[in-house]
Amino acid sequence: MIAVVVVAMTTAAPALAETVVVTARRMLDVETGRLLDDPLVVITDGRIAAVVTRNGGRPKIPADAKRIDLGEATILPGLIDMHVHLTSNPKYGGYSGLQFTDSFWVAQGAGNAGRTLRAGFTTVRNVGSDNYADVGLKQAVEEGWIEGPHIVPVAYALGATGGHCDETFLPPSYDRKSPAMGDSPEELRKRVREQRKYGAEAIKVCATGGVFSRNTAPGVQQLREEELRAVAEEAHFWKLKTAAHAHGADGIKAAIRAGIDTIEHVSFIDAEGIALAKQRGAWLGFDVYNTDYTLSEGAKNGVLPENIAKERAVGTLQRENFRAAAKAGAGMIYSTDAGIYPHGDNARQFAVMVRFGLSPIDAIRSATTNAARALGRTGDVGAIRVGAYGDIVAVAGDPLADVTLLERPVAVIKGGERVR
Ligand code: ARG
């Protein structure tokens, strides 16, 4: 029987000098891949103050500390999804989303933030939304008005006019275009500064066509290497990390050579691209789960036949190329493109990664240690270690023996507060 002390759910940040003590049967040390017995984690004011395991001695605990005893469960760091769209909703494919007013997307995005958090994802990077909605969601979470993970917003994704990240669904008389398009290195530098000005904490750029846009081909490069380099340089100048949407082999290699930190989708990467990624230390984020959802539910949700056809052409190859990259030991991050499939199902990708050749511990590292490094946030997230946020997910068994346990967390703690 799991004894649980329920910590009151408050929307406010924990009061000053509030101490929470979390105990469980085992802890997965994601760095070493070892399971340690009888962990005890002390969280003070939302940050981890001490971590000990069996025979590790017992730290001083204030008498009024709250207790969260997770009984027989195994704890690991709160998970990180490097590629989500909290304001997107897979239920409204194709043109069906036009039935709603603009603010609808933010309003339902607040629910998606809560679903994501309760699924064990305590940190997400939101790689594109309209109207700076991800910046607003982050602020609402931090102010305690809505439940959600730590959000790293990119605001609008940059790209070429008419490219994947532009508005591609409407005819010219609607005069609709994304405000983050740029068609020269100088224009793109300015777009970086504009996004940062309004709250972007990382910069995303679309290097190739994509699946869910019209009149773009996933395999075809859409920005020149010098344009991608301008984005990477300008973002890095402002101390921001960069992500590139890139399906095609040429766009992938151009983005890596340009110095982009994480390459997303990576569908058609070739052997040269894998070698280049390893050599340059670029992280690869293959979204290998969502194809299952799109191919079974997409048509019902209104996704246009041309987009479903593109998904068919991309999905299988992407998984085979993921297998090759995993075998080659490329650096992997956990990027799922939640919003293409329902928010809250983020953990379903672990099983696909393992099925296509990544070990369970490396799949878990992609969503913890590797993701934290790719964010430049190792001090905050991705590990149960002193100084990091008190972000913990608990599962009912050994996740190295069965990664699908991560789809059913028995507890989720963010900043020392139990949210599930
Ligand atoms: N946002 C991406 C795009 O539209 C999603 C690709 C999904 N498909 C896939 N097999 N990963 O290009």
Query: What does the alpha-carbon distance between residue 178 and residue 157 come to, in Å, rounded to a whole number?
Result: 9
Q: Is 204:243 a contact under the CB 8 Å cutoff?
A: yes
Residues 73, 86 within the same domain: no
Residues 391, 336 within the same domain: no
Would residue 376 count as lying in a domain? Answer: no
Q: Residue 244's closest CA among 280, 295, 291, 292?
A: 280
| Residue 212 CA to ligand 1 centre (angstroms) | 7
Rounded average pLDDT over 238-256: 99
Structural domain span for residue 178: 79-343
Single residue among 292, 322, 343 that ends a domain in this structure: 343
Q: What is the 3-state secondary structure (H, E, C) of 7-37?
A: CCCCCCCCCCCCEEEEECCEEEECCCCEEEE
Residue 362 Cβ < 6 Å to ligand 1: no
Q: What is the pLDDT of residue 19?
A: 97
Residue 134 Cβ < 6 Å to ligand 1: no
Residues 176, 189 within the same domain: yes
Would residue 362 count as lying in a domain? Answer: no
Classify burial at 139, counting beta carbons within 10 Å of its beta carbon; exposed 0-12, middle 13-18, buried 19 or more.
middle
Residues 118, 136 within the same domain: yes
Single residue among 343, 368, 394 that ends a domain in this structure: 343
Query: What does the alpha-carbon distance between residue 23 and residue 393 come to, in Å, rounded to a whole number?
Result: 12
Residue 132 Cβ < 6 Å to ligand 1: no
Say how many domains are in the chain: 2
Residues 235, 256 within the same domain: yes
Residues 193, 331 within the same domain: yes
Rounded average pLDDT over 68-77: 98
Rounded average pLDDT over 181-209: 98
Atom of ligand 1 nearest to the CA of 314: 10
Residues 206, 280 within the same domain: yes
Residue 296's contacts (CB-CB under 8 Å, 6 or more residues apart) are none
Per-residue model confidence as pLDDT tens digits over 33-72: 999 999 999 999 999 999 999 877 788 899 999 999 999 9
Residues 404, 256 within the same domain: no
Residues 276, 320 within the same domain: yes
**CATH number of the structural domain spanning residue 141:** 3.20.20.140
Residues 172, 309 within the same domain: yes
| Residue 290 CA to ligand 1 centre (angstroms) | 8
pLDDT exceeding 90 applies to what percent of the chain?
94
Residue 417 Cβ < 6 Å to ligand 1: no
Residue 87 Cβ < 6 Å to ligand 1: no
Task: Supply the mean pLDDT for the chain.
Answer: 96
Q: Is 125:243 a contact under the CB 8 Å cutoff?
A: yes
| Residue 308 CA to ligand 1 centre (angstroms) | 10
Compare 28 and 6 and report the one with higher pLDDT. Answer: 28
Would residue 369 count as lying in a domain? Answer: no
Atom of ligand 1 nearest to the CA of 218: 12
141-179 as b/e: b if 16+ CB within 10 A: beeeebbbbbbbbbbbbbbbebbbbbebbeeeeeeeebe
Per-residue model confidence as pLDDT tens digits over 163-194: 999 999 999 999 999 999 999 999 999 999 99
Would residue 370 count as lying in a domain? Answer: no
| Residue 51 CA to ligand 1 centre (angstroms) | 39
Would residue 227 count as lying in a domain? Answer: yes
Residue 211 Cβ < 6 Å to ligand 1: yes
Atom of ligand 1 nearest to the CA of 209: 12
pLDDT band at residue 420, thresholds of 50, 70 and 90? Answer: confident
Would residue 159 count as lying in a domain? Answer: yes
Token code pair at residue 177: 């275009």
